[in-house]
């Protein structure tokens, strides 16, 4: 199954597709730590949050143990011209073992206020070490205001680019085992992408991108919340 509905590269909500940074914009791109998600005008991108070491090594191992057998049965997909992602396999899962359910509940408790209608299925995206995610906005039709993901196996750089002002570029370091949350402005007014290994720098430091698995919880859009 493909998760085409989750991402929109070429709908009216995102016209500059797929986003290719010009030299100037690339120079303007600045890297920020988790506590400094300011863009180059010094304005914080509200709604971008990173919690380092959100899961322990042990919890990471337990998640991988449950996921590997499912992922291994699938092949990495490449080169669909309209896909937002290159070099990936994915699945979604509603039933988790007890230990992993507890971790996911922790994600949900941190990311969503009580009573918010959430997608029951957790999205699991396995990015090949040479894979990457192009700039996109998650479908506003199917996903609500919040995207919360834990990052397994590899650190990476997530780039946010303002849809209105493409020179407003914010890089976020997503360390292995972190939780990141994109809400509101960061979710709707910026595209997000995961850089390929060759482009993966943060504050001038190379961040080696290996195979990376993200485990993502989302809430429902208003349209789908009834
Ligand atoms: C997505 C996405 C980011 C990640 O699947 O839409 O942006 O952390 N994923 O894998
Ligand atoms: Mn996305």
Three-state secondary structure of 180-226? EEEEHHHHHCEEEEECCHHHCEECCEECCCCCEEEEEEEEECHHHHC
Contact (CB, 8 A) for 153 and 208:
no
Backbone angles phi, psi at 102, to 5 degrees: -65, -40
pTM attached to this predicted model: 0.86
Of all protein residues, the one whose alpha carbon is nearest to atom 5 of ligand 1 is 125
Q: Is the CB of 138 under 6 A from ligand 1?
A: yes
Confidence (pLDDT) at 185: 94
Say yes or no: CB of residue 125 within 6 Å of ligand 1. yes
Q: What pLDDT score does 225 carry?
A: 67
Closest-lying ligand 1 atom to the alpha carbon of residue 125: 10
Instruction: Please give the structure tokens belonging to residue 152.
Output: 């397994």
Cβ atoms 202, 95 nearer than 8 A: no
Q: Is the CB of 133 under 6 A from ligand 1?
A: yes
Ligand 1 atom with the shortest distance to the CA of 127: 10
CA gap 7, 114 in Å, rounded: 26
pLDDT in tens, the chain (226 residues): 445 556 665 333 333 323 334 443 443 444 444 434 544 445 568 899 999 999 999 999 999 999 999 999 999 999 766 689 999 999 999 999 999 999 999 999 999 999 999 999 999 999 999 999 999 999 998 899 999 999 999 999 999 999 999 988 999 999 999 999 999 999 999 999 999 999 999 989 999 999 999 999 999 998 776 5
Measure 7 CA to ligand 2 centroid, in angstroms: 6
Distance (Å, whole) CA 84 – CA 81: 9
Query: What are the start-end ranges of the E strands in the chain?
Result: 7-8, 30-32, 48-51, 85-93, 122-138, 143-152, 156-162, 169-174, 179-183, 190-194, 201-202, 205-206, 212-220
Whether 177 is in the pocket of ligand 1, judged by its Cβ within 6 Å, is: no
**CA angle (108 as vertex; 57, 100 as ends), nearest 5:** 40
Pocket probe mutation, ligand 1, options 144, 216, 217, 218, max atoms within 8 Å of Cβ: 216
Q: Which of 147, 158, 187 to mutate to test the pocket of ligand 1 (most atoms within 8 A of CB)?
A: 147
Please tell me the predicted confidence (pLDDT) of residue 8: 60
CA of 18 to the centre of ligand 2 (A): 13
Distance 41 CA to ligand 2 centre (A): 24
d(CA 73, CA 66): 13
- The reply to whether ligand 1 has any atom less than 6 angstroms from the CB of 131 is no
pLDDT attached to residue 32: 45
């Amino acid at each position: 199954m493909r998760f085409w509905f989750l991402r929109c590269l070429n709908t009216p909500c995102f016209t500059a597709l797929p986003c290719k940074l010009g030299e100037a914009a690339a120079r303007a791109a600045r890297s920020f730590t988790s506590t400094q998600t300011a863009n180059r005008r010094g304005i914080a991108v509200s709604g971008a949050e990173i919690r380092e070491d959100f899961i322990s090594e042990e919890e990471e191992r337990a998640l991988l143990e449950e996921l590997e057998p499912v992922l291994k049965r699938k092949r990495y997909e490449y080169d669909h011209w309209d896909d937002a992602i290159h070099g990936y396999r994915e699945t979604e899962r509603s039933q988790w073992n007890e230990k992993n359910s507890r971790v996911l509940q922790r994600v949900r408790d941190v990311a969503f206020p009580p009573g918010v209608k959430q997608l029951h299925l957790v999205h699991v995206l396995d990015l090949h070490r040479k894979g990457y995610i192009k700039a996109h906005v998650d479908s506003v039709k199917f996903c609500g205001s919040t995207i919360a993901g834990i990052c397994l196996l590899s650190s990476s750089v997530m780039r946010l680019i303002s849809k209105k002002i493409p020179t407003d570029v914010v890089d976020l370091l997503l360390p292995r085992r972190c939780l990141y949350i994109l809400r509101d402005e960061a979710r709707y007014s910026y595209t997000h992408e995961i850089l390929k290994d060759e482009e993966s720098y943060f504050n001038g430091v190379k961040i080696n991108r290996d195979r990376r698995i993200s485990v993502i919880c989302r809430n429902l859009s208003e349209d789908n919340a009834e």
